[in-house]
């Protein structure tokens, strides 16, 4: 009876968009790896085949299971991330995988769903009020615990994804100054890399003066403004030290290329330069499936993984790229729509986590391949090669679709 209920009530629009994205993803992996000898597109087809029983398992499990055992799932996820430091396999300088023979599994891809469940479980408690400082710190701890285990691997791309949970918390009542602080911090960091520190401090001073005199007289607080300027100045003066001593050389190189401070078309900037050439050469309608010269020539490294969108741009052109973007946008909007009509706070919060994670992956990956964001290794959901990523995104989405299908039984 439960399975019949899922069949009748599952959101088939989301399912069809998922199938379309996975299918298009495989076609582009096939094209980008057709001339390789490692069987990439065959392996991805096997990964796709494994998602079918995986989806049935996720949908078969009672929807309340995910809420009841969210904390346990989260703890298991943290243990799997911590275990990498002892038992993980290092690939390209990153200790992010467990190796089982020739098969590798990346636990950070599954930790996103586990963190979403844990955050939804915490926020659905009737006693939780995010206006209280201790509640804010507890919620942020749930988000940052996996981040602290992922960063040292090092995997800054996966760690970056967790920043989207701040927006979910904001949706559920987190004070807006958290979001503004994050935005301003990033802006100050980038400006300091472009301009001299004293110039950035003078700009900050000017903005604070304008805010001070534009505000109501009763709200003006010279001491608060002075404290803010001191904090901003301290941060700005520390940027160069952090950039030179905390960031690794390849991270510094990527930022310098992005900001136009360094031109290196044959070294660290090669991937981005070639991806821009590939996408630009596609024109309005593309060169045709399997006809991409950049793709067939192997000019874009890692094209079947993080740079898979370059194949879309070259072979399918602007029209094909627009179709892919519209499919992703349709999925984001659909998940948000479904989240808003949930009968429980747990399901709603989890739905927003799903939409946020998929969106930030999509946004950062596309921005990365067109050269407006540093290359940090963020895959395109359902498109990029890899079993862990595909399964992680599939589990993330279908847990929510199970919750949505089950809402008819909730009151």
pLDDT, mean of residues 77-95:
88
d(C-alpha 105, C-alpha 198), whole Å:
47
Confidence of residue 183 (pLDDT cuts 50, 70, 90): confident
| pLDDT tens sequence across 42-66 | 999 999 999 999 999 999 998 889 9
Please name the residues in contact with 204: beta carbons below 8 A apart, sequence gap of 6 or more.
Answer: 188, 229, 232, 233, 236
pLDDT, mean of residues 292-317:
82
Q: Please, what is the average pLDDT of the chain?
A: 86
pLDDT, mean of residues 302-321:
88
pLDDT at 359 over 70: yes
Residue 145: its pLDDT value, please? 94
pLDDT at 269 over 70: no
Confidence of residue 157 (pLDDT cuts 50, 70, 90): confident
pLDDT at 220 over 70: no
Residue 14: its pLDDT value, please? 96
- How buried is residue 408: exposed, middle or buried, by Cβ count under 10 Å (0-12/13-18/19+)? exposed
d(C-alpha 67, C-alpha 257), whole Å:
45
The crossing angle, in degrees rounded to 10, of helices 387-406 and 40-60 is 20
d(C-alpha 284, C-alpha 317), whole Å:
5
Residue 127: its pLDDT value, please? 78
C-alpha closest to that of 176 among 164, 166, 186, 185: 166
Residue 305: its pLDDT value, please? 84
> Which of 60-64, 179-183, 309-313, 391-395 is most confident?
391-395
**Cα dihedral across residues 233, 236, 241, 242: positive or negative:** positive
pLDDT at 228 over 90: no
Name beta bridge partners: 94.
91
Confidence of residue 393 (pLDDT cuts 50, 70, 90): very high
CA 20 to chain centre: 20
Residue 1: its pLDDT value, please? 43
Residue 209: its pLDDT value, please? 85
Residue 411: its pLDDT value, please? 47
pLDDT, mean of residues 11-38:
90
Confidence of residue 267 (pLDDT cuts 50, 70, 90): low
> Which of 20-29, 180-189, 240-249, 297-306 is most confident?
20-29
pLDDT at 351 over 50: yes
Q: In what order do the strands lie in the sheet with 94-100?
A: 89-91, 94-100, 103-105
Confidence of residue 406 (pLDDT cuts 50, 70, 90): confident
Residue 333: its pLDDT value, please? 96
Residue with tokens 């991937």: 271
To the nearest whole percent, how much of the chain has pLDDT over 70? 90
- Measured CA distances, 262 to 118, 254, 255, 259, 266 (Å): 42, 9, 9, 8, 12
Kind and range of the H or E run holding 299? none
Alpha-helix runs per DSSP H in 215-308: 222-245, 249-258, 270-281, 293-296
Residue 375: its pLDDT value, please? 76
DSSP per residue, 70-116: HHHHHHHHHHHHHTHHHHPEEETTEEEEEEETTEEE-THHHHHHHHH
> Which of 176-190, 214-228, 309-323 is most confident?
309-323
Confidence of residue 358 (pLDDT cuts 50, 70, 90): very high
Residue 218: its pLDDT value, please? 46
pLDDT at 118 over 90: yes
Residue 250: its pLDDT value, please? 66
d(C-alpha 89, C-alpha 101), whole Å:
11
Structure tokens, 111 = 């930790």
DSSP state of 332: H
CA 302 to chain centre: 18
d(C-alpha 271, C-alpha 371), whole Å:
10
On whether the CB atoms of residues 315 and 31 are closer than 8 A, the answer is yes
Residue 164: its pLDDT value, please? 92
d(C-alpha 226, C-alpha 213), whole Å:
14
CA 153 to chain centre: 17
Residue 380: its pLDDT value, please? 93
Residue 149: its pLDDT value, please? 92
- Measured CA distances, 11 to 14, 153, 162 (Å): 6, 37, 26
CA 65 to chain centre: 26
pLDDT at 263 over 80: no
Three-state SS sequence of 361-399: HHHHHHHHHCCCCCCCCCCCCCCCCCHHHHHHHHHHHHH
């Amino acid at each position: 009876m439960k399975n019949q209920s899922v069949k009748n009530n599952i959101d088939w629009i989301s399912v069809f968009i998922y199938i379309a994205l996975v299918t298009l993803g495989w076609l582009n992996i096939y094209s980008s790896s057709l001339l390789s000898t490692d069987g990439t597109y065959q392996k991805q087809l096997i990964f796709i085949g494994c998602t079918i029983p995986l989806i049935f398992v996720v949908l078969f499990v009672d929807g309340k299971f995910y809420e009841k055992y969210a904390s346990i799932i989260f703890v298991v996820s943290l243990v799997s991330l911590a275990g990498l430091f002892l038992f993980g396999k290092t690939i390209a300088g990153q200790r992010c995988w467990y190796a089982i023979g020739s098969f590798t599994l990346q636990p950070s891809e599954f930790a996103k769903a586990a963190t979403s469940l844990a955050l939804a479980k915490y926020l659905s408690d009737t006693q939780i009020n995010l206006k209280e400082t201790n509640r804010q710190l507890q919620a942020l701890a749930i988000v940052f615990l996996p981040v602290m285990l992922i960063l040292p691997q090092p995997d800054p791309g996966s760690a970056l994804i967790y920043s989207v949970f701040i927006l979910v918390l904001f949706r559920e009542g987190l004070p807006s100054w958290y979001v503004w602080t994050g935005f301003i911090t990033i802006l100050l960091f980038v400006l300091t890399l472009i301009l001299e520190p004293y110039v950035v401090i003078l700009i900050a001073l000017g903005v604070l003066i304008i805010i001070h005199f534009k505000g109501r007289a009763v709200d003006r607080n010279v001491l608060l403004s002075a404290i803010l300027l001191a904090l901003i100045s301290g941060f700005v003066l520390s940027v160069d030290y952090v950039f030179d001593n905390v960031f690794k050389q390849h991270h510094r190189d990527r930022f310098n290329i992005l900001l136009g401070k360094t031109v290196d078309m044959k070294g660290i900037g090669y991937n981005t330069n070639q991806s821009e050439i590939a996408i630009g050469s596609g024109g309005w309608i593309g060169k045709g499936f399997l006809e991409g010269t950049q793709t067939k020539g192997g000019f874009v490294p890692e094209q079947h993984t993080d740079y898979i969108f370059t194949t879309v741009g070259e072979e399918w052109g602007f029209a094909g790229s627009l179709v892919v973007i519209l499919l992703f946008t349709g999925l984001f909007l659909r998940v948000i729509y479904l989240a808003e009509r949930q009968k429980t706070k747990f399901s709603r919060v989890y739905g927003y986590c799903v939409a946020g994670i998929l969106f930030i992956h999509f946004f950062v990956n596309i921005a990365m391949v067109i050269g407006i964001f540093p290359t940090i290794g963020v895959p395109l959901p359902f498109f990029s090669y890899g079993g862990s990523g595909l399964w992680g995104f599939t589990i993330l989405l279908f847990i929510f679709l199970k919750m949505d299908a089950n809402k008819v039984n909730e009151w």
